[in-house]
Amino acid sequence: MATTKNGAAGSLAGKLPIWAELKQEIVAIAPSLGIDDIGFASADPFLSLKSILQQHREKGHESGFEEPDIEKRVHPELSLEQPASLISIAVAYPSKMDNPPKSEPGKRRGILARSAWGQDYHHVLRAAMAKLEEFILSRVPEARLVNMVDTGALVDRAVAERAGIGFSGKNCAIISPKWGSWIYLGELITNIPFPPDTPVTEGCGECTKCLDACPTGALIGPGQLNAQRCISFLTQTKGFLEEEFMLKIGNRLYGCDTCQIVCPKNKGKSWNHRPELQPEPEVAKPLLLPLLDMSNREFKETFGSSAASWRGKKPMQRNAVIALGNFKDRDSVPKLIDIMQNDPRPVMRGTAAWSLSRIGGEEALEAINRAIATEQDAEVLGRLQAAQGKLKAAAIKEDAVVLSEDQVLYYDEMDSVIGKLTLVTSTRGLCHIEFGPYSDCSDVLNRWMQRYYKGSQMVASKEALSTANQQLKEYFAGERRQFDLRLDLQGSEFQRKVWDALLTIPYVKTASYKDIAEMIGQPKAVRAVGGANNKNPIPIIVPCHRVIGSNGSLVGYGGGLSIKESLLSLERNMEYGSGQDQ
């Protein structure tokens, strides 16, 4: 929107004290206008930005939502004749939700990015800028003003950086020293020559947490984003998504906050002073199955006030189908089969087939076989066949993963200084240790057994576990530092690599998740290493208790932190005693 009054920029020049005073008035009144931060900058062209934008386009890294004319993005004078200043505004929004609803089996939930939690920020920013324009025109009737929000010609981050709102982070977000990156941005172009503010000199330093955490590697370098790989962009598209991206989307329905969540500059920052931006929990974390049955009217009534609604219900419903697959939610199988067989939208049918292949099971395979016989769309048919192949391969693998001798696992209990332990062995070696007596952990063990030793039975046997029992007793007595046992570790290839690395951590020594990630040759897989560490089936023997936080703190442990501390203390005490004897 443009507000135009008679008068050229030249008629406003030469009155710097007046403009400095007006600037101070604007800064003082900004909070009452709905503005949390405001900055002023020159309206000079963003010449250094032009080559960056051109390279971005040449590499195919644009989202397609940007202003197509690069010259307009660089030159403010193409939006307002003879501009003198740019005004950048920021409005802070919340990053935390009070009492968020839980996602449970049969009641799985998706999540919207925080920028879409409250009222549509386009409306919030435009309302604030309309009040700002009104105030300026009440003081300077001859002022000329053009405002922009999000999809305006200028690059709002470039304007905000020049105007001193914050610095441009490696995650491509403007990071305010006060507000963090949880801010919406808008800008005004005006012919009033306001004194400019000083850009923020703070930066990210050596930190690369956002680059390391980006789920799809869309952050290809500091301040460099390939929007075509960004989950925030992908969740807003309307077509089919490749499997690589569907796996990474998780349960996101709109947008992605990962690079902001991990940013140290955002630690402890959440803003709840604007009621219109606070989340409605059932909207910000909606149930997935009801979302799939919403009509256009119901969708608009539920999500219409959120920025997430601008693309309509189709992308969000596709993302809900993906989320159910990633949850591997068996309760959703009937609904997914119905979508695959009856939804008129090819994208929904093909995506439902993928989700069913993620969940697995004979019911899903039989439904896909039926759908293949009748499907007419070539793209959907290809996805059905891919899903069919995965399910058949999974069925073959499940049938093959059984004990070769008598389909029996043996278990025994033992007492220790950290409480009772339940040991389990296959004919190939020790395969599981649970904290507690068998009566307490039998359900967990049976589920684990059916996954990795399908069709087997659990049988009590002291003889089968005698060697493991004896070596553990020696360890707890301080008489053994290394174990000499055959192990039968069941898990993914990545998990086994992590567990093999854990076996190399010496007695008394510790390592961090980062150390393990580097040890296995995947230095960026720190989080995945943490997940594999937590799923270690043979604690103590495979010493996951020797993994601590990079800052030296204890991190999670399957048996509880008290047991972890006990194991580390036991080893330290025995090492100290041994040193004294020498």
Residuewise pLDDT in 10s, the chain (582 residues): 344 333 344 456 656 689 999 999 999 999 999 999 999 999 999 999 998 989 989 989 888 888 888 999 999 999 999 999 999 999 999 999 998 999 888 899 999 999 999 999 999 999 999 999 999 999 999 999 999 987 789 999 999 999 999 999 999 999 999 999 999 999 999 999 999 999 999 999 999 999 999 999 999 999 999 999 999 999 999 999 999 999 999 999 999 999 999 999 999 999 999 999 999 999 999 999 999 999 999 999 999 999 999 889 999 999 999 999 999 999 999 999 999 999 999 999 999 999 999 999 889 999 999 999 999 999 999 999 999 999 888 776 555 444 444 578 999 999 999 999 999 999 889 999 999 999 888 889 998 998 888 888 898 999 999 999 999 999 998 888 999 999 999 998 889 999 999 999 998 898 998 999 999 998 888 888 888 888 999 999 999 999 987 776 777 676 778 888 889 888 888 765 443 332
Of the candidates 172, 214, 431, 544, the residue annotated as catalytic is 544
Q: Which two tokens stand for residue 74?
A: 């660089």
The set of residues, in sequence order, having a beta carbon less than 8 Å from that of 440 and lying 6+ positions away, is none
Q: How far apart are CA 111 and CA 483, in angstroms?
A: 46
Straight-line distance from the first to the last Cα atom of the chain, in angstroms, rounded to the nearest whole number: 83
Same domain for 426 and 500? no
* pLDDT given at position 398: 54
Q: How far apart are CA 329 and CA 332, in angstroms?
A: 6
For CA atoms 347, 330, 451, 548, the dihedral sign is: positive
Q: Which two tokens stand for residue 473?
A: 């007793």
Last residue of a domain, one of 185, 206, 227: 206
User: For 321, phi and psi rounded to 5 degrees?
Assistant: -65, -45
* pLDDT given at position 561: 81
Same domain for 57 and 200? yes
Q: How far apart are CA 435 and CA 427, in angstroms?
A: 22
Read off the pTM: 0.67
Task: Give the Cα-Cα-Cα angle 429, 434, 436 (nearest 5 degrees).
Answer: 140
Strands of 239-374, DSSP E: 252-254
Pairing of strands 85-92, 37-42: antiparallel
Assign residue 170 a region: left if phi > 0, alpha if psi is -120 to 50, beta otherwise? alpha
Map tokens 């089936």 to a residue. 537
Q: Which two tokens stand for residue 505?
A: 């951590």
Secondary structure letter of residue 511 according to DSSP:
B
To the nearest 10°, report the CA torsion of 485, 490, 491, 493. Answer: 70
Domain containing residue 501: CATH number: 1.10.10.10
Nearest to 140 by CA among 2, 1, 11, 37: 11
To the nearest 10°, report the CA torsion of 460, 466, 471, 473. Answer: 70
CA atoms lying within 13 Å on the CB side of residue 388? 15
Same domain for 406 and 437? yes
Same domain for 73 and 168? yes
Task: Report CA 363 to chain centroid distance, whole Å.
Answer: 31
Same domain for 191 and 329? no
Tell me which residue range forms the domain holding 241. Answer: 210-400
Same domain for 311 and 197? no
DSSP per residue, 367-403: HHHHHHHH---HHHHHHHHHHHHHHHHHHHHHHH-S-
Same domain for 48 and 174? yes
What are the b/e assignments for 544-581, b being 16+ CB within 10 Å?
bbbbbeeeeeebebbbeeebbebbbebbeebeeeeeee
Angle between helices 333-342 and 313-327 (to 10 degrees): 140
Residue 544 a catalytic site member: yes
Same domain for 368 and 495? no
Same domain for 88 and 107? yes
* pLDDT given at position 210: 95
What are the b/e assignments for 366-386, b being 16+ CB within 10 Å?
ebbeebeeebeeeebbebbeb
Per-residue 3-state assignment (H helix, E strand, C coil) for 93-126: CCCCCCCCCCCECCECECEECHHHCCCCHHHHHH
Q: How far apart are CA 168 and CA 265, in angstroms?
A: 12
Map tokens 């007419």 to a residue. 376
Same domain for 552 and 578? yes
CB 455 within 8 A of CB 444: no
Last residue of a domain, one of 167, 188, 206: 206
The set of residues, in sequence order, having a beta carbon less than 8 Å from that of 242 and lying 6+ positions away, is none
Last residue of a domain, one of 206, 230, 258: 206
Assign residue 424 a region: left if phi > 0, alpha if psi is -120 to 50, beta otherwise? beta
Q: Which two tokens stand for residue 236?
A: 């807003």
Q: How far apart are CA 450 and CA 465, in angstroms?
A: 21
Same domain for 358 and 332? yes
Q: Which amino acid is at 168?
A: S
Give the total number of structural domains in the chain: 4
Distance of CA 374 to CAs 329, 353, 384, 471, Å?
Answer: 26, 14, 11, 61
* pLDDT given at position 113: 96
Domain containing residue 481: CATH number: 3.30.160.70
Strands of 236-338, DSSP E: 252-254
Same domain for 182 and 246? no
